[in-house]
Amino acid sequence: MSPDSLRIFQNRRALQNRLRRTEPAEAMRRREYAPHIDALIRLVSVRIVRLAELISRMAILTFEDRFGVKNTDLRILVMLAAHQPISVNAVRRRTHIDKAWISRSLRGLLRRKLVTKTAHPTDGRASLVSLTKAGEALLLEIAPVALMHQRQLLQGLRSREVEQLLGLLSERAEEMLRLAIQSNAEERLLEKHPRSLHVGKSQGARP
């Protein structure tokens, strides 16, 4: 067994062992919680995060070990395939991934020659990122595996209904985020200039 194969095998075994760890039997028994605790446990956002964690672990077993790409790498590669050439800032805006994570991931993808950088035509401080032929070939290999996992995950569900639900949740979440950012900005402005924001709202309310 080659060193690379041995490393992949060891990583897979370590992750499988972590996944097998369960709570003690007593903790697994059905519990009754106070209504507010039960409501928090059943929050859709909490359950979606938990689902994302499970899918992320599955992705590690599949894509990182088999293809050598992490979740962040794969998200960037897919984004580039859809919108290339694209700037690093645009990648961050579209994927909502932290800029430091994007930079770290791009360095690895550049080393593997899966992506390439070119000069930005209008901004000398920026550059455009695109897939290479090797990057495109890798996505061709990954796609059928990813689709197979998706079919298993969504077995028994109608694809159209799933798409509608995900689209609706995404739209509402983005709108809630926009409103939260706006509210937070107004609160900071109010802390710095308490009279200006109050006066501005008062003036806006005049007929």
Question: How many domains are contained in the chain?
Answer: 3
What CATH number does residue 138 fall under?
Answer: 1.10.10.10
pLDDT of residue 5: 53
Q: What is the mean pLDDT of residues 147-166?
A: 87
Measure the CA–CA gap between 29 and 32, rounded to whole angstroms. 10
- Domain range enclosing 189: 158-207
- Residues 82 and 134 occupy one common structural domain: yes
- Residues 75 and 149 occupy one common structural domain: yes
pLDDT tens digits for 132-151? 999 999 999 999 998 888 88
Burial profile 130-145: b = 16 or more Cβ within 10 angstroms, e = fewer: bbbeebeebbeebeee
- Residues 64 and 84 occupy one common structural domain: no
H-assigned helices in 112-158: 133-153
- Residues 101 and 113 occupy one common structural domain: yes
Give domain status of residue 168, yes or no.
yes
Give domain status of residue 191, yes or no.
yes
Q: What is the mean pLDDT of residues 97-104?
A: 87
Q: Judge residue 53's burial from the number of C-beta atoms within 10 Å of its C-beta, 0-12 exposed, 13-18 middle, 19 or more buried.
A: exposed
The end-to-end CA distance of the chain, in Å, is 79
